[in-house]
Amino acid sequence: MYHFLLLLVAAVAAADDLPPSCNKAIYCDSELLHHVQMARLYPDSKTFVDLHMRDSEEVILADFRKLLNETENPTKEQLQAFVDKHFDSTSELEEWTPSDYTENPQFLFGIHDEQLRQFGKDINAIWPDLGRKVKSQVLQSPDRFSFVPISNGFIIPGGRFTEIYYWDTYWIVEGLLISGMKETARGMIENLIQLLKTIGHVPNGSRWYYQNRSQPPLLSAMMSLYIRETKDMKFLKDNIKALEDELRYWLDTQIITFDKGERSYTLLRYFSPSKGPRPESYYEDYNSAQVFASEERKQEFYTDIKSAAESGWDFSSRWFVGNDGDNSGNLTTIHTRDIIPVDLNAIFANALQNMAYFQALVLNPFRAAHWAFLAKQWRDNIEAVLWDDTDGVWYDYDLPYKNHRKYFYPSNVAPLWMGVVSKSLIRRRSARVLNYLKKSHGLDYEGGVPSSLIRSGEQWDFPNAWPPLVSIMVNALEALGTDEGNKLAFQVAQTWVRACQKGFTANKQMFEKYDAEVPGLYGGGGEYRVQSGFGWSNGVVLEFLAKYGRKMTAHD
């Protein structure tokens, strides 16, 4: 078979050869974890791994071995009593109001519509509700917690997500900067850099059980937003090495070289090989894997599930590969590691460009040239592998089937969003990209741009519309640089803001996702109930209000 498939087989060999999800045994690799999660002590598997320990890990594991020796198979009641004795559900966090928060930030004065101005003020007022700081005992006894200590106050996404998440933070930082909260935005970026230094990369979120997977590498893009707004060169100089370290992590662990036509290409894919189910979704993953006969195939499934979680799109038909190579099926047909994603590679090419620019800013021309060379290589490979000249758009690429996955996803236009397409190419292709989007009918919905046109029941599929994907679409349309593209970008943004305002008026809160078919209705599907809050939802609404507030209206 293809040489890259041999690499995959070697990489996801026997589970015994793989590391656990993290190096904290209780939370990631223990009989205790298995027994508690499979006994379903809590409706949400995340609940247990968010508890903190009353005793040391060694004492708890020794006591659990004693319980197993006495009972062989503890009852649900015995397990609950054990957990109640050894674990504490008190939050590791305390509420925190950012010192730079203000009720009437400057951007509000640029919104002409009175109702939208009030909506912007209401969204801005949510920031203190989502503000948290780590309690001192987490810093004093870090081994007792699944929360990875971070120094600065931060904005949580909301709901069950009481830690910071990597790619969520990009849109949260954008929203904070629009609200004039530069110190809080800098603190958010510093927290991610602290996690990077602690773990070796920016993890999926600030919990140890996310240790062996990341999320879309938007750290340098956040730094770019911050530097553009503040011109804080000292912050850039102090952290430029860490930003380089993150790029090297992706180059060391996530690249794959493969043949297309007569040439070989190197790009990134999502790939998180670690042993067993996701700790925070242990029950769900373990049960889903039971359809597979061999332990090796179960482990491959766990790797693909974790790799999809690394993408942020957990889960979507985007990662399903049916018998004919299509995007049919369900979670049991997930093959994330076999797919070269458009958005990941666009984000990474942008990160390489940013690094070249950053090094130039700090007067290091040789380092700037190094990263600029890699950025050009990445842009060229994106064009050669992911651009589809027939349809006039970029598509994910299927490695085993050696073809484009020709389905509508907002990620198809991510190269425009990330500014990794030359202006000459954009001029030649703008009409074709717009034609593709019109023919797809993906922009025709009154509740926003859906994440796909496949009704799979997964939360990153139709009819759910997700704020970051709407932001990607609007910025991609603007990047076309045409009157038609700008007009369509405004229409998509206004449709979204109106839908979110309608939902906010009805529910007095923002949600993580919405229904593209019913304006303002929250989305559904997936492994958990829809969550309110919500960090990136707030950031995207503020982005659109700040960008289009002078002409946007709440009603026609």
Catalytic residues, by residue number, are 314, 512
Q: Where are the alpha helices (DSSP H) in 231-341?
A: 233-253, 282-288, 295-311
Q: For residue 525, give the nearest of 460, 461, 463, 459 by alpha carbon.
A: 459
Q: Rounded to the nearest 10 degrees, how much is the dihedral formed by the CA atoms of 359, 363, 366, 367?
A: -20
DSSP state of 519: T
Residue 478 CA: distances (Å) to CA of 349, 518, 540: 19, 26, 15
> Please, which residues have CB within 8 angstroms of residue 450's CB and are 6 or more apart in sequence?
442, 461, 462, 463, 464, 465, 516
* 3-state percent helix, strand, coil for the chain, nearest multiple of 5: 55, 10, 35
Place of tokens 């993290």: 22
Q: Could you please report the per-residue DSSP string of 74-132?
A: --HHHHHHHHHHHEE-S-SEEE---TT--SS-GGGGG--SHHHHHHHHHHHTTGGGGEE
By CB atoms closer than 10 A (0-12, 13-18, 19+), residue 25 is: middle
β-strand partners of 300: none
- Assess contact for 37 and 283: CB atoms under 8 A: yes
CB atoms within 10 A of CB 108: 19
DSSP state of 259: E
- Assess contact for 117 and 111: CB atoms under 8 A: yes
